[in-house]
Structure formats: C-alpha cells, structure tokens
C-alpha cells in the first residue's frame, strides 16, 4: 500500500496494484532517461499546472506541455522503485488502463510531494539556533 505522506500513490491496473513514487533513485533514473536535471524537469512540470489552468481562463499553453514519450518516461521512472522490471511498453499499458489524464495528475501529485516548496511551513525562515553548552549551569560565581 502506498504511503501518501511520502509522496507515493497507488493504482490498480492490469490486475495488479502499482505504486508511483519519485524517490532519489527514481529521479536519478529519470535524469538518465531524459538527459536533463531532475530539478529542471520538476520545475518544468511544476509550471504545467499553470499552463493547464491559466489565470483568467485563458488558452492552454500547448508549447509548455510535454510529449507522450516524456510523460510515459516519467511514469515508468516513478514506478521503478517498487516495480524495477517495468519497461516503457508496460508503463504505457498501465497508463492506458488508468487513463492518460489520471496518470498525468498522479505524476504531478507525486512530483509536488517530492519537491515541496522550501520554507512553506515556516515562512522561509531558517530554524532558530539552540543554546550552546551542555545544559548544566555553572557552579562558579563571578
């Protein structure tokens, strides 16, 4: 069963349960497959939500959308931790069974969990430093 807190998503397709997750190893595999930094890819995919739902109801930016091969590669790499034997063909069959739209949404959700906004919870401030020392009070009086 997938752990949503860790950014995992489970799905049923082809008479099997699958888990999608973009761990460090999955992101490294993605970099190898697409020959691009996972951080650059995540930034590109993070901006897809804006391209798909532009402010003010404008037109969808079609040039910002990835191709089918890229979507399938993302999906396959996201499956790789839990299902290392999945190839591109099987990943495409799973996506067909789940639906392209749902597959796309799952990729976006998993990526968002893998790259949470830095500083979102605390307003961007670094953690406060603790006191230095052993925690014992000095017995010497000045």
pLDDT tens digit sequence for 17-51: 999 999 999 999 999 999 999 888 877 877 766 65
pLDDT score recorded for residue 120: 45
Tokens of 72: 């399938």
> Which residues lie closer than 8 Å to 133 by C-beta, 6 or more apart?
none
Domain ranges of the chain: 24-114
pLDDT tens digit sequence for 73-127: 999 999 999 999 999 999 999 999 999 989 988 998 888 888 765 334 444 444 4
pTM over 0.75: no
Tokens of 130: 């603790």
Please spell the DSSP secondary structure of 46-88, one letter per residue. HTHHHHHS-GGG----GGGSPPHHHHHHHHHHHHTTT-TT--H
> Which residues lie closer than 8 Å to 3 by C-beta, 6 or more apart?
none
Residue 17 phi/psi, 5-degree rounding, is -95, 135
- d(CA 60, CA 66) in angstroms, rounded, equals 13
pLDDT score recorded for residue 118: 38
């Amino acid at each position: 069963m997938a752990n949503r807190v860790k950014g995992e998503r489970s799905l049923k397709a082809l008479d099997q349960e699958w888990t999608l997750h973009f761990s460090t190893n999955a992101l490294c595999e993605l970099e190898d497959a697409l020959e691009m930094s996972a951080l650059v890819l995540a930034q590109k995919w993070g901006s897809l939500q804006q391209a798909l739902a532009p402010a003010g109801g404008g037109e969808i930016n079609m040039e910002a959308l990835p191709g089918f091969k890229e979507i399938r590669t993302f999906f396959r790499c996201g499956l790789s931790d839990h299902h290392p034997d999945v190839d591109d063909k099987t990943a495409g069959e799973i996506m067909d069974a789940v639906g392209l739209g749902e597959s796309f949404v799952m990729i976006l959700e998993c990526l968002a969990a893998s790259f949470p906004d830095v500083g979102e919870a605390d307003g961007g401030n670094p953690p406060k430093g603790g006191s230095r020392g052993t925690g014992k009070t000095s017995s010497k009086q000045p």
